[in-house]
């Protein structure tokens, strides 16, 4: 007697998400990786085939836009101490978003 087992697994390609998180983590390099990540993210906006990747692309898009907004706000504030506080908060917040998002992607969880 032979027993056959069929496993139907859906393979999800997460390489784009990993690439964009890696680019986001390179933000100290004059923000060029963040801008490149945002450009790639907006170019992939129409692909809705993978709900896991779509949720992470949305998470990354909101993170990048908010981080750039905080940097612009910090630049526009005339007081140095307040400007540096906004920059510091923005960097800590952005690092938190990268780590939480990337760990969720590794675990296969939508965010």
3-state SS track over 13-71: CCHHHHHHHHHHHCCCCCCHHHHHHHHHHHHCCCCCCCHHHHHHHHHHHHHHHHHHHHH
Residues 6+ apart with CB under 8 A from 12: 50, 52, 53, 108
Q: Evaluate if residue 82 carries a pLDDT over 90.
A: yes
Residue 94 contacts residue 63 (beta carbons within 8 Å): yes
Query: How many angstroms separate the CA atoms of 35 and 27, rounded?
Result: 9
The mean predicted confidence, pLDDT, of the chain is 87
Average pLDDT over residues 18-35: 89
Does residue 59 have a pLDDT over 50? yes
pLDDT higher than 80, residue 45: no
What pLDDT score was predicted for residue 8? 43
Q: Kindly tell me if the per-residue pLDDT of 9 is higher than 50.
A: no
8 Å CB contact between 64 and 41:
yes
The confidence score (pLDDT) of residue 6 equals: 45
pTM, two decimal places? 0.82
């Amino acid at each position: 007697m032979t027993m056959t087992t069929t496993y139907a697994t859906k393979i999800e390609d997460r390489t784009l998400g990993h690439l964009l998180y890696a680019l986001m983590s390179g933000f100290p390099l004059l923000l060029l990786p963040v801008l490149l990540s945002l450009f790639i993210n907006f170019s992939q906006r129409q692909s809705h085939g993978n709900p896991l990747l779509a949720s992470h692309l949305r998470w990354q898009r909101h993170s990048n836009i908010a981080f750039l907004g905080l940097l612009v706000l910090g630049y526009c504030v005339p007081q140095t101490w307040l400007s540096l506080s906004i920059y510091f908060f923005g960097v800590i917040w952005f690092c938190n978003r990268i780590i939480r998002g990337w760990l969720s992607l590794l675990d296969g969880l939508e965010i």
